[in-house]
Amino acid sequence: MAKDKTQQPMMAGFTSAEREYIRSELDLFFSTLPSVAEGFQIKTWRGGPQAGKPKVPQAAQGLLDRGLMRLDLTGRLPMLFFTDAGLDALRTMMADGRLADPKKFAHVRQELGIDPIDPIDPALQAVAAG
């Protein structure tokens, strides 16, 4: 019998689908390094009975259901932000090189305080400063 996505084992507080979703959202995007503090942008339904409402990916819904992320609808676009518990789990995930490549996600590791900030990179210093 095949496991469904709700029965996946947890590592660092996330399922494998959730870890993949987080890595994809925090990976390099058109030469831009995303920030955890900026949150994850969520698409909205274009038509039908849910038009204009957030179109939350399945992996993100699990994070919302467990209180690891929160949905913010106050801005122009819906956004997901990590809660304190979610940030703790994200730090655990990013600190484990098996779950997130330390080189590829160096910007996230520095933002979360896992690694020291590179004094040569002013962009990362600005993110860390707030």
Decide if 3 is inside a domain: no
Q: How far is CA 44 from CA 13, 41, 59, in A?
A: 27, 10, 16
Decide if 93 is inside a domain: yes
Q: Residue 66 has which token pair?
A: 């467990």
Question: How much is the pLDDT for 4?
Answer: 47
- Between strands 69-72 and 40-41, the pairing is unpaired
Decide if 124 is inside a domain: yes
3-class secondary-structure state, position 108: helix
Banded model confidence at residue 76, pLDDT cuts 50, 70, 90 = confident
Q: What is the mean pLDDT of the chain?
A: 86
Q: Where do the H-state alpha helices sit in the chain? A: 16-26, 58-65, 84-95, 106-111, 122-129
Write out the residue range of the structural domain in which residue 12 sits: 8-129
Decide if 32 is inside a domain: yes
Rounded CA separation 127/12 (Å): 24
Number of domains in the chain: 1
Decide if 2 is inside a domain: no
